[in-house]
Structure 1
Amino acid sequence: MTDTAMAVRIGVIGGGRMGAGIAQSFATLGSDVTVVESGDLAAARQRIRNGLSAAADRNALGGSDDIDTIMGRITLAAAIAELPADSDLVIEAVPETPRLKAEVLTAAERAVGPDTVLASNTSSLSITELGAVLKDPSRFLGMHFFNPVPASKLVEVVRAPATAPGVTERVRGWVAALGKAEVLVNDAPGFATSRLGVCLGLEAVRMLEDGVADAESIDRAMELGYRHAMGPLRSTDLVGLDVRLAIAEHLAATLGPRFEPPQLLRDKVARGELGRKTGRGFYDWNGGTKGTTR
């Protein structure tokens, strides 16, 4: 058992990059985690193991547990109904589609007990609207993790008007136990981080589209001039151009035309240039993990 053990029973719905990272983070600190993945269970398990191997290479596993011990705390399941009824927390980390999220949250509420906290990892969708499908929206809120989850220091905790104060405090405690900082925001389109991050990212795409500078120069200007850890175009590649486009379209619909996606972003998504996950975005990722200008 790790020195900073967290005896919490966690459910994660979605075994993609974000879900795997969330599962890894909780399991590393001693929690039992059930990951529900409707697709390839073996691929989801390998994704988590790869994340743990990368953490071990950075000497960032923490405690004294090895990879096999941590993996032993993780159960893969094909259906939401397999979530343990006594789960303390269930986090959905499925794609940013309101109908899909509503379906999985409704199924999760049926599967677990009345004291289980339900959370969405959405980066922009309304927590109030998502919670409206639940019988008890008071136990629901947003937990917006950042990619890559194990290395990221931030979780944006988003409370809706219906969220019970005690639920918010429980979640803040779990975030602190993960060794992450939380920012507490009220439910609003894009919350704090996506609203600001997408605004900067879209303007960077427009600058590239207008020929102001190349991608590397735009990113270096923000990294060196404003001390951003990563420039907005490289960050967009890591998030996924399709994900950023979907968020921009949502924000444009709710906040107005200042979030209207540039045509260059739409064109790249249409061509399948989605960033690191497809090998090409604003950078070429086929030659390594850092990406190179094209």
Structure 2
Amino acid sequence: MVRTLDSIDSIGVVGAGTMGSGIAQVAAQSGYEVVMRDIEMEFVENGFDTIEDSLDRFVGKEKLTESEAEATLDRISGTTELADLADCDVVIEAAVENMEIKQDIFADLDDEIPEDVVLATNTSTLSITTIASVTDRPEQVVGLHFMNPVPIMTGVEVVVGEKTDEEVAAFAHDLAEDLGKETWESDDKPGFVTNRILMPWLNEGIRAYDEGVASKEDIDKGMKLGTNVPMGPLELADHIGLDICLDASQTLHEELGDRYKPAYLLKRKVDAGDLGKKTGTGFYEYD
């Protein structure tokens, strides 16, 4: 039996990185009690720092009051123990994009979390069906792919695995919408909707720059003015993180062939440690 949205008071988040902390923030802003877990307390504390910085920006832009920001923080607790999520009414995993790690987490969650609790994964490219296969509740596993940065982006991709129950998929839509998001649904195919289409676009922008078609500024300007997108491919890749783009592209390349082969310059940048905005240098320089 799937828990209904009106019975959900608390949300567990596995992972306190960029995505996990963002999910924790929007859940707490929406009035839910949140338990945010990571493998080391240092990572949890970094997650809280990220949330505080984000809330400060919302207050500065008068999108939240100081008291609302404080109340949001008060609803979030941090832990390194997966067992501390046992009383949560739904759990969302937002760990690194690695199948072995995700399967280990879901096997442990299956042991620790009551059987009627939905387990969601924020994976952007990996198979929901494969992640769910290590649990005794594959029908209770669903993809909830939030967009980055989570507190700002309004979209959430609901991904349905081979055994995901229809009621669980409907619950995932309802939960995301209750967090102030808009949803769309994808079957469990490589890359789903967003990354299946986005990654070739990013890679072709990088190839165009590497092959001297235009400067990086003109490639981005041309795509922004020519297609009415807010960021061009090189700027967007920097914001996503070049390592994340490379991982996603490699996953899609393995699944779907050479049309998804990562651009050489993307691999070279990642090898050099220039990962985009988060390291201060990618295709552009950041303060």
- What residue number does 1:290 align with? none
- The count of residues paired between Structure 1 and Structure 2 equals 280
Tell whether the 8 Å contact from 1:240 to 1:275 is kept in structure 2 after alignment.
Answer: yes
TM-fit CA distance, 1:6: 9.8
Give the match's secondary structure for 2:230: coil
Q: How large is the Cα RMSD of the aligned pairs? A: 1.6
Whether the aligned pair in 2 keeps the contact of 1:28 and 1:61 (CA below 8 Å) is no
Q: Which residue of 1 aligns with 2:228?
A: 227
1:220 Cα deviation after fit: 1.2
Secondary structure of the 2:151 match is: coil
Aligned counterpart, 1:292: none
> What code does the residue aligned with 2:205 have?
A
Aligned to 1:280: 281
Amino acid at match of 1:152: M
Moved more, 229-238 or 193-202: 229-238
Q: What are the equivalent positions in structure 2 for 1:133-282 lying under 5 Å apart?
A: 133-282=134-283
Which whole-Å deviations, capped at 9, do the CAs of 1:265-285 have from their partners, x for residues lacking one?
A: 111000000001100111111
Output the CA distance in 1 between the equivalents of 2:225 and 2:55: 31
Aligned amino acid, residue 279 of structure 2: T
Q: In the TM superposition, what whole-angstrom CA distance separates every residue of 1:93-115 from its partner, at most 9, and x where no partner exists?
A: 11111111111111122221111
**2:214 partner letter:** A
1:80 Cα deviation from its structure 2 partner: 1.1
Structure-1 separation of matches of 2:157 and 2:58? 23
TM-score by length of 2: 0.94
Alignment of 1:75 with 2:113, yes or no, is no
The residue correspondences of 1:92-131 to structure 2 (distance < 5 A) are 92-131=93-132
Tell me, yes or no, if structure 1 residue 59 matches structure 2 residue 62.
yes
**1:50 equivalent in structure 2:** 53
Q: Report the Cα offset of residue 140 of structure 1.
A: 0.3
Residue 80 of structure 1 aligns with an amino acid whose one-letter code is: L
Q: Distance in 2 between matches of 1:207 and 1:6?
A: 51
Letter in 2 for 1:250: T
Q: Which amino acid aligns with 1:201?
A: L
Is the 1:106–1:134 Cα contact (8 Å) retained in structure 2?
Answer: yes
Q: Which amino acid aligns with 2:255?
A: T
Ranges in structure 1 where 5+ consecutive residues have no aligned partner: 287-294
Contact 1:15–1:37 (8 Å) recurs in 2: yes
CA contact (8 A) 1:86 1:116 kept: no
User: Hey, what does 1:291 align to over in structure 2?
Assistant: none
Measured in 2, the distance between the counterparts of 1:278 and 1:6 equals 41
Distance in 2 (CA, whole Å) between partners of 1:48 and 1:263 is 35
SS class of match (2:186): strand
In 2, the alpha carbon distance for the partners of 1:250 and 1:61 equals 39
Q: Distance in 1 between matches of 2:23 and 2:58?
A: 14
Summarize deviations over 1:248-280 as a string: whole Å, max 9, x none: 111111000111111111110000000011001
- Kindly state the Cα deviation for residue 53 of structure 1 after the two structures are TM-superposed: 1.2
C-alpha deviation, 1:215, in angstroms = 1.3
Report how far residue 86 of structure 1 moved: 3.3
Distance 2:7 2:236 in 1: 31
Q: Which is helix-richer, 1 or 2?
A: 2
Extract unaligned runs of 5+ from structure 2: 1-5
The separation in 2 between residues aligned to 1:151 and 1:6, in whole angstroms, is 26
